[in-house]
Amino acid sequence: MTTDDRLINSKLDILIDQIGRLTEGLTEIKLLIQQQAETAKQQADSIKQQADSIKQQAETARLQAESVNKLVALLEQRSLSP
């Protein structure tokens, strides 16, 4: 094997190592992106559930306010009646 062949083989080994590291890095990035996507999906689901709960609470508060208004009206009528 000539000196040029050894130099070429050495450079090829370096390139192969660098490509391997790059591939590992890209795989790690891909996994991180997948994890972040799953986390974002879970957060979106949680936010939707919270929004639904808030809507239900708002409706309950509205109904309670109506009931209180009716009770106040009844009490006012009774207090005005002789």
Q: Extract the tokens encoding 22.
A: 């790059």
Q: What is the pLDDT of residues 2-18, one digit of tens each?
A: 988 899 999 999 999 99
Q: List the helix and strand counts (H, then E) for the chain.
A: 1, 0
Residue type, 8: I
- Rounded CA Rg of the chain: 35
Task: Answer whether 0.75 is exceeded by the pTM.
Answer: no
Averaged over successive runs of 10 residues, the pLDDT of the chain (82 residues) comes to 90 97 98 98 98 98 98 90 70
Task: Give me the half-sphere count of Cα atoms (radius 13 Å) on the Cβ side of residue 29.
Answer: 6
